[in-house]
């Protein structure tokens, strides 16, 4: 309790003091103290309402409490009084001590002023003295500095005058680096005053330096000198601002050209000395010789060359470290040039050497170049092979049979011989190429391994191209003959004779029947794999497509052969029909010339065809019974309709009508011969097609003419003459008879007065003609 | 072949020539001339019945000499011209179809309008002015070409111009350029010659149109400078006269001579040809003509001849020398074979659909 009162008392004291000193206690501002309860606590606040307090106290407090309160307040007042007395006393003490301190301070400060003034005087005096000393010394110092400068200048001049001597001494001692150092030191002065004061000196120095340069250059070039000193010489030269470019060039020309020359000579010398390099032309020997001693020798020589290269490159690098680019350029150039000359056979060796070279000249990326060059070489090799083969085949086709030695065995059948030869060329050539390329693949496993599939594709693509090319070639050869002036191709292809067309046709058959399957088989066994381009892409070699090309080509060529032959004969026939004036024709006495010509042509044709084609079946054309043919039965009915429609017309003579009827009836009951049958690859088909076309043309030509009686008889006679020989030639009587009859009938229809000759007379005339032919033949033989 | 067979009409005699009656736009009519050496010949005016496939004879007229070629007047259905020969005589004449008499179907002689006199060789064909009314006419013999001024009312014919292809040449036929009325092309031996009718000089030439005689030729009705030729080498070729060295296209043609070839007057893609192999072939010719003028690549025809051949009509049994599209119905054509049969056939439905849908 006493403690609590004590606390409250001190608190109030502090508040009072603070209100006395400051503006007010922090608590006094808060209205909470006042508003909380009307207690005595708010008594210190400025707005303490005494009346209100008193009133509320009187109102609210019972008497006993009021009395108690009175006692409390009285005690409090007493306390406060004593406290105040205490405070006043304390403050008074403090005031007295402060007054004492102030009095003492006043006494101490009094002597200060004079002391300070004295100090200032002393300092001023010291400063004036120091200035005096400085001034007296300055003049002397300047003098000393001037003297110093003069002295160093004199020393420099001395150095320059001594420079020639020093340089000479250094050069005698071969201490080139010191000489260069001296020279470098003197260089600015020499450059500045070289033209005036030190002219003679400079000239001397220049002279010396040029000799020095020469010496250094000689040292660089001297291969006997140690590499380090040579390198140092190069550095010195560079310090002397001497252009090293020319040196590099010289070095290059001397060493590199020598090296290059070696390489070139090596490459060029190859074909003469070593067989392997002629692989392109003699594949078998070339590849067999791969392991022979000569090849080993060649490799050794090659090794030497590589060694040379490495040494030279090393030297260059040491000498001219800053000319790296130049080296790379030179190396690349050397590499390219020499490598193109080099054949791929030795390339395997190179690959390993190149890794060494690569260490020296890493930037030149030689391995990539090498493998690229190798790839190029192989590609080129394959391409050469195929183009060579293609040329061979093409040459074999157009070659004159007589120019072939050994083809004499079958002179009577030159076409057959040509065909055999061409066939042999194709299959043998292709197999040789395959063999060769196979060997290459086997021998060069290591470095081809990486793109083996590509290589296989390459070979297969080669065959594809070869055959597509051949088809094109065949067709272009023949189209030329078929289109003559119309063809715009300016190249000088040899004119394709009909026999060549036939030859090509058969060659095409051979290719798709024999050659392509055989080659496919070999390719299948040797060149497995391939297809780098993925499965969705077409394979490089598509035998079925090739076969299809050749199949259609063969048919087209055969058709063309037949067309050309038939056209030739048709021209003959047409002339024979169009030339005479049939209306004024004299009585026939002899068979006309053209018949013999015609037979002759057919015989030649047969001669050609016999050489190349199988005889084939003798009856190649179909006979259709007209009663079974829809067309002709229809024709009968329509014809009758036509007649019935016009039958009332009367001015038609019975004879004409009978003739037409006879003709129609005859047509109905004779066998209907198909003139136009499908062409087949055999003698009978080809010859009979040509003859049929010719006779049909004959008929058409006859229909365009008008004959008198003798003209008709002449045609009759000609046909009669042709009948027997054509029978013999064609082995097929029906079709010949039919067509010859058609010609006669056409002539009869176009004849004003168709009276046929009797058979006896015809026979007689034909016999006479044959006899005459026989006698002329025998006389000509004599 | 599937579907409809054509209608047939039999003539009494052999025949070579047929021509559509161009001036008659009401009916599908053709004129056919017979070729009988020893009898009087006839000209039949035939009509394809509108609602059936029947062929009716609308007129039958006598023509003494055998008719080698026949051409209808393009502006007056009463007139037509024939080229005739009998024995050693030959000539060309313009005829008027007489009014039908009271006797109905009686045979009436033709009224000769004018004879074209002056030819020294056997005449091959006559060409009327290509379209519209005009009084000029061209006649062609083996070596010469004549341009006539015709006055049908006055019955006169005067030579307006004359050109010679040279001695010993064989002109087989000709065609008047529908795009340029001053031009006429002739099939001369293996070449095609173009003539300017104003100067009567040769202006252009396809040196070697075919290996053998060119038989017939026709101008494309829609495109200038494009023509089609048929020859004895059995081929049919399409040419651009601006590039006479190389044909634009070659059709396999026929198995023997290709004798006639004709563009459809309305659909230039359709070409009709006939040959001495007794066939009439209907071709589809691709429209992409100039531009890719590359002459046939080696493997251009893997599909074979069926590529452009729409249909082969095989009803005829002898060489088909005469061929004519109808001028009224573009889907109908007539052919006449040597044995005197006229066949009227039509373009297959599928082809019609294809062509009409493309327009």
What one-character-per-residue DSSP string does B80-100 give? EEEEEEETTEEEEEEEEPPPP
Distance CA A393, CA A422 (A): 7
pLDDT of A123: 93
**CA of B337: which chain A residue's CA is closest?**
A635
Q: What percent of chain A is modeled with pLDDT above 90?
A: 8
In chain A, positions 723-782, which contact chain B (CB-CB < 8 Å)? 749-752
Question: Which residue of chain A comes nearest to B277, CA vs CA?
Answer: A676
Nearest to A486 among B12, B107, B245 (CB): B245
pLDDT of amino acid A672: 57
Residues of B whose CB is below 8 A from A752: 37-38, 87
Å between A693 CA and nearest CA of chain B:
7
Residue-wise pLDDT for A384-406, tens only, equals: 878 888 888 877 777 654 444 44
Contacts of B338 in chain A (CB under 8 A): 703
User: CA nearest A674: which of A606, A746, A734?
Assistant: A734
Cβ-based contacts of B83 with chain A (< 8 Å): none
- Tokens standing for B205? 């030439």
**A469 to chain B: closest CA residue:** B298
pLDDT of A348 strictly over 60: no
- Shortest distance, CA B60 to any CA of chain A (angstroms): 10
Residue A413 and residue A362 in contact, taking contact as beta carbons nearer than 8 Å: no
Are B245 and A653 an interchain contact pair (Cβ–Cβ within 8 Å)? Answer: no
Smallest CA–CA distance from B68 into chain A, residue? A704
Helix/strand/coil (H, E, C) string of A31-60?
A: HHHHHHCCCHHHHHCCCCCHHHHHHHHHHH
Mean pLDDT, range A221-231, rounded to an integer: 72
**Predicted local distance difference test score (pLDDT) of residue A74:** 92
pLDDT of residue A646: 37
Q: What does the pLDDT read at residue A485?
A: 37
Give the mean model confidence (pLDDT) for residues A249-256: 70
- First-to-last alpha carbon distance for chain A, in angstroms, is 183
Nearest by CB to residue B212, choosing from A567, A631, A638, is: A567
Cβ burial of A149 (10 Å; 0-12, 13-18, 19+) is exposed
Residues of A in contact with B14 (CB under 8 A): 749
Q: Does A644 touch chain B (CB under 8 A)?
A: no
Residues in chain A with CB shorter than 8 Å from the CB of B213 are 574
Min mean pLDDT across A59-68, A722-731, B286-295 is at B286-295
CA distance B117 to A184: 119
Suggest the residue from B13, B88, B215, B299 to mutate for an interface test with chain A (most A CBs closer than 10 A). Answer: B299
Least confident of A300-304, B48-52, B269-273: A300-304
What integer is the mean pLDDT of A611-626?
54
Does the distance separating the beta carbons of B11 and A570 come in below 8 Å? no
User: Is the confidence at residue A484, as pLDDT, over 80?
Assistant: no
Q: What is the pLDDT of residue A662?
A: 63
> How sure is the predictor about A754, in pLDDT bands with cuts at 50, 70 and 90?
confident
What is d(CA A48, CA A34) in angstroms, rounded to the nearest whole number? 8
Stretch A568-572: mean pLDDT = 90
Chain B CB within 8 Å of residue A487 CB: yes
A245 touches chain B (CB under 8 A): no
Q: What is the DSSP string of A646-688?
A: HTT---S-HHHHHHHHHHHHHHHHSPEE-SS----SBHHHHHH
Interface probe for A, chosen from B256, B257, B278, B280 (most Cβ of A below 10 Å), is B256
| A638 Cα to chain B: minimum distance (Å) | 6
Average pLDDT over residues B278-306: 56
Both structure tokens of A584? 């004024």
Looking at residue B281, what is its pLDDT? 93
Q: CA A449, CA A445: separation in Å to the nearest integer? A: 5
Above 80 in pLDDT, residue B243? yes
A544 reaches B (C-beta below 8 A): no
In the DSSP assignment, the letter for residue B16 is E
- Mean pLDDT for the stretch of residues A510-524: 82
Q: How far is B255 from chain A (nearest CA, A)?
A: 7
- CA atoms of B266 and B321, how far apart (whole Å): 23
- Measured between alpha carbons, how far is A700 from A361 in angstroms, rounded to an integer? 85
Q: Does A703 touch chain B (CB under 8 A)?
A: yes
Cβ within 8 Å, pair B256-A696: yes
User: What's the mean pLDDT in A344-369?
Assistant: 53
pLDDT at A157 over 90: no
Under the banding of pLDDT at 50, 70 and 90, the label for residue A465 is confident
Higher pLDDT, A326 or A653: A326
The helix (H) or strand (E) run that includes residue A571 is helix A543-578
Chain A positions touching B232 (Cβ under 8 A) are 570, 697
> In chain A, which residues have their Cβ closer than 8 Å to the Cβ of B302?
548, 552
pLDDT value for B30: 93
Distance from CA of B245 to the nearest CA of A (A): 5
Residues ≥6 apart with Cβ < 8 Å to B290: B240, B243, B248
How many Å separate Cα A530 from the centre of its chain? 19
Contacts with B, A 562-591, CB within 8 Å: 563, 567, 570-571, 574, 578, 583
Write out pLDDT tens, residues A74-130.
Answer: 999 999 999 999 999 999 999 999 999 998 888 877 778 888 889 999 999 999 999
Listed in sequence order, the residues at least 6 apart from A5 whose beta carbon sits closer than 8 Å to its beta carbon are none
Interface of A with B in 654-683 (CB under 8 A): 656, 660, 664, 667, 675-676
> Which residues in chain A have Cβ-Cβ distances shorter than 8 Å to B245?
485-486, 488
Give pTM, 2 decimals.
0.64
Burial B120-151 (b: 16+ CB within 10 A, else e): eebbbbbbbbbeeeeebbbbbbbbbbbbbebe
Q: Note whether A220 contacts B: Cβ–Cβ < 8 A.
A: no
A545, A646, A648, A662, best to mutate vs chain B, most B CBs in 10 Å: A646
B317 vs A contacts (CB less than 8 Å): 631-632, 635, 667
Task: Write out chain B residues lying below 8 Å of A484, CB-based.
Answer: 208
Q: Which of B3, B7, B108 minimizes the C-alpha distance to B333? A: B7
pLDDT at residue A16 greater than cutoff 60 = yes
Q: Which of A85-94, A152-161, A689-698, B104-113 has the lowest mean pLDDT?
A: B104-113
The residues, any chain, with a CB within 8 Å of residue B188's CB and separated by 6 or more, are: B165, B169, B170, B171, B172, B214
pLDDT of the residue at A231: 76
Smallest CA–CA separation between A297 and chain B, in Å?
52
pLDDT at residue A234, as a whole number: 76
Q: Is the pLDDT reported for residue B292 higher than 70? A: no
Look up tokens 């002295």; give the residue.
Answer: A151
Are A631 and B317 in contact (CB < 8 Å)?
yes
Please report which residue ranges of A110-195 form alpha helices under DSSP H: 112-172, 176-193
Name which of B87, B36, B92 is nearest B62 in CA terms: B36
State chain A's mean pLDDT as an integer.
Answer: 72
- Do B148 and B158 touch, CB atoms closer than 8 A? yes
Of B40, B17, B18, nearest to B29 by C-alpha is B18
Q: Is A393 left (phi over 0), alpha (psi -120 to 50) or beta?
A: alpha
Q: Residue B228's pLDDT is what?
A: 94
Predicted ipTM? 0.89
Q: What percent of chain B has pLDDT over 90?
A: 34
Q: For A655-706, how does the pLDDT look when each residue is reduced to its tens digit (9 = 90+)?
A: 555 555 666 666 655 555 667 777 778 888 888 888 888 989 999 999 988 8
- Asked if pLDDT for residue B14 goes beyond 50, the answer is yes
Pairing of strands B341-346, B183-188: unpaired
All residues of chain A having their beta carbon less than 8 Å from the beta carbon of residue B256 are 675-676, 693, 696-697, 700
8 Å CB contact of B39 and A653: yes
Pairing of strands B29-34, A623-624: unpaired
Please give the average per-residue pLDDT across A323-347, as a whole number.
Answer: 58
- pLDDT of A466 above 70: yes
* A493 token code pair: 């292809």
A407 has pLDDT over 80: no
B261/A307: higher pLDDT: B261
Query: What is the Cα–Cα distance from B79 to A611, expressed in whole angstroms?
Result: 61
Ordered structural domains, chain B, with CATH = 7-357 (2.130.10.10)
Look at B87 and A651 and tell me if their CB atoms are within 8 Å: no
Among the listed residues B36, B61, B6, the one whose alpha carbon sits nearest the alpha carbon of residue B326: B6
| pLDDT for A285 beyond 70 | no
Question: Least CA distance to A694: which residue of chain B?
Answer: B256
Is A473 an 8 Å CB contact of chain B? no
- Average pLDDT, stretch A483-498? 47
Contacts across the A-B interface (CB distance below 8 Å): 117
């Amino acid at each position: 309790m006493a403690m609590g009162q004590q606390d409250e008392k001190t608190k109030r004291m502090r508040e009072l003091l603070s209100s006395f000193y400051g503006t007010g206690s922090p608590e006094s501002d808060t209205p909470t103290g006042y508003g909380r309860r009307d207690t005595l606590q708010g008594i210190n606040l400025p707005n303490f309402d005494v009346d209100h307090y008193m009133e509320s106290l009187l109102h609210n407090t019972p008497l006993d409490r009021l009395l108690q309160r009175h006692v409390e307040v009285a005690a409090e007042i007493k306390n406060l009084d004593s406290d105040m007395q205490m405070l006043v006393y304390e403050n008074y003490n403090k005031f007295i001590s402060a007054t004492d301190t102030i009095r003492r301070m006043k006494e101490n400060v009094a002597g200060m002023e004079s002391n300070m003034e004295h100090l200032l005087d002393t300092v001023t005096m010291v400063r004036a003295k120091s200035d005096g000393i400085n001034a007296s010394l300055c003049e002397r110092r300047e003098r000393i500095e001037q003297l110093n400068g003069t002295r160093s200048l004199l020393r420099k001049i001395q150095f320059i005058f001594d420079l020639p001597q020093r340089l000479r001494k250094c050069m005698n001692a071969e201490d080139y680096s010191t000489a260069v150092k001296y020279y470098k030191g003197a260089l600015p002065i020499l450059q500045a005053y070289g033209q005036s004061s030190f002219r003679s000196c400079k000239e001397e120095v220049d002279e010396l330096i040029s000799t020095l340069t020469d010496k250094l250059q000689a040292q660089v070039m001297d291969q006997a000198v140690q590499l380090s000193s040579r390198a140092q010489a190069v550095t010195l030269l560079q310090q002397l601002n001497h252009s090293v470019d020319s040196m590099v060039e010289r070095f290059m020309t001397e060493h590199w050209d020598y090296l290059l020359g070696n390489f070139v000579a090596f490459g060029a010398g190859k074909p003469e000395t070593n067989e392997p390099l002629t692989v392109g032309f003699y594949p078998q020997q070339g590849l067999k010789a791969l392991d022979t001693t000569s090849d080993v020798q060649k490799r050794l020589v090659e090794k030497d060359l590589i060694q040379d290269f490495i040494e030279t490159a090393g030297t260059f690098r040491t000498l001219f470290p800053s000319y790296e680019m130049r080296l790379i350029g030179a190396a690349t150039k050397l590499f390219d040039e020499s490598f193109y000359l080099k054949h791929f056979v030795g390339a395997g060796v190179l690959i390993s050497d190149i890794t060494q070279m690569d260490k020296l000249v890493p930037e030149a990326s030689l391995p990539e170049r090498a493998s690229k060059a190798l790839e190029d070489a192989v590609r080129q090799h394959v391409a050469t092979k195929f183009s060579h083969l293609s040329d061979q085949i093409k040459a074999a086709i157009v070659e004159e049979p007589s120019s072939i030695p050994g083809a004499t065995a079958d002179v009577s059948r030159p076409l057959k011989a040509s065909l055999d030869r061409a066939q042999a060329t194709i299959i043998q050539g292709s197999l040789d190429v395959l063999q060769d390329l196979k060997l290459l693949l086997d021998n060069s496993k290591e470095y081809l391994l990486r793109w083996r599939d590509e290589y296989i594709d390459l070979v297969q693509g080669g065959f594809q191209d070869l055959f597509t090319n051949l088809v094109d070639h065949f067709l272009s050869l023949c189209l030329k003959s078929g289109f003559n002036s119309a063809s715009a191709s300016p190249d000088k292809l040899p004119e394709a004779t009909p026999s060549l067309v036939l030859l090509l046709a058969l060659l095409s058959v051979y290719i798709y029947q024999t050659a392509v399957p055989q080659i496919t088989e070999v390719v299948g066994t040797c060149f497995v794999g391939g297809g780098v381009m993925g499965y969705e892409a077409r394979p490089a070699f598509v035998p079925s497509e090739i076969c299809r090309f050749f199949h259609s080509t063969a048919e087209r060529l055969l058709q063309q052969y037949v067309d050309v032959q038939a056209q030739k004969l048709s021209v003959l026939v047409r002339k024979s029909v169009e030339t005479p004036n049939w209306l004024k024709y004299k009585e026939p006495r002899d068979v006309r010339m053209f018949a013999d010509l015609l037979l002759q042509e057919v015989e030649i044709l047969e001669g050609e065809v016999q050489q190349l084609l199988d005889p084939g079946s003798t009856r190649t054309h179909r006979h259709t019974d007209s009663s079974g043919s829809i067309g002709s039965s229809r024709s009968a009915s329509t014809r009758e309709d036509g007649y019935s429609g016009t039958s009332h017309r009367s001015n038609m003579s019975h004879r004409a009508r009978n003739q037409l009827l006879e003709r129609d009836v005859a047509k109905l009951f004779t066998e209907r011969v198909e003139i136009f049958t499908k062409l087949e690859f055999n003698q009978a088909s080809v010859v009979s097609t040509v003859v049929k076309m010719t006779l049909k043309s004959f008929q058409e030509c006859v229909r365009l003419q008008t004959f008198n009686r003798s003209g008709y008889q002449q045609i009759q006679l000609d046909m009669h003459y042709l009948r027997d020989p054509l029978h013999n030639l064609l082995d097929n009587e029906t079709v010949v008879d039919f067509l010859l009859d058609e010609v006669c009938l056409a002539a009869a229809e176009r004849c004003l007065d168709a009276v046929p000759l009797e058979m006896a007379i015809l026979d007689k005339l034909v016999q006479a003609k044959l006899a005459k032919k026989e006698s002329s033949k025998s006389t000509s033989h004599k | 072949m599937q579907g409809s067979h054509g209608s047939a009409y039999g003539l009494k005699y052999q025949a070579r020539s047929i021509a559509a009656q161009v001036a008659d736009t009401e009916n599908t009519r053709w004129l056919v001339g017979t070729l009988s050496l020893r009898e009087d010949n006839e000209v039949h005016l035939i009509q394809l019945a509108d609602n059936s496939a029947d062929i009716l004879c609308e007129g039958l007229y006598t023509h003494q000499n055998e008719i080698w070629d026949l051409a209808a007047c393009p502006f007056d259905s009463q007139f037509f011209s024939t080229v005739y020969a009998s024995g050693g005589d030959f000539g060309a004449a313009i005829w008027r179809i007489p009014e039908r008499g009271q006797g109905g179907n009686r045979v009436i002689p033709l009224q000769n309008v004018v004879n074209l006199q002056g030819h020294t060789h056997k005449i091959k064909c006559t060409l009327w002015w290509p379209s519209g009314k005009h009084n000029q006419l061209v006649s062609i013999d083996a070596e010469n070409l004549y341009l006539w001024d015709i006055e049908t009312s006055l019955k006169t014919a005067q030579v307006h111009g004359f050109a010679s292809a040279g001695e010993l040449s064989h002109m087989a036929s000709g065609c008047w350029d529908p795009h340029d009325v001053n031009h006429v092309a002739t099939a001369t031996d293996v070449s095609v010659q173009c003539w300017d009718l104003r100067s009567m000089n040769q202006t252009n030439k396809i040196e070697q149109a075919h290996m053998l005689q060119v038989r017939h030729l026709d101008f494309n009705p829609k495109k200038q400078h494009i023509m089609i030729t048929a020859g004895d080498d059995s081929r049919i070729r399409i040419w651009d006269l601006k590039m006479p060295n190389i044909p634009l296209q070659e059709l396999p043609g026929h198995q023997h001579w290709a004798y006639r070839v004709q563009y459809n007057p309305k659909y230039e893609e359709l070409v009709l040809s006939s040959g001495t192999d007794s066939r009439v072939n209907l071709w589809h010719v691709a429209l992409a003509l100039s531009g890719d003028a590359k002459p046939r690549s080696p493997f251009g025809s893997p599909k074979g001849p069926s590529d452009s051949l729409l249909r082969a009509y095989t009803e005829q049994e002898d060489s088909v020398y005469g061929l004519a599209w109808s001028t009224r119905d573009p889907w109908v054509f007539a052919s006449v074979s040597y044995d005197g049969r006229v066949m009227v056939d039509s373009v297959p439905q599928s082809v019609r659909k294809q062509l009409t849908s493309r327009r």
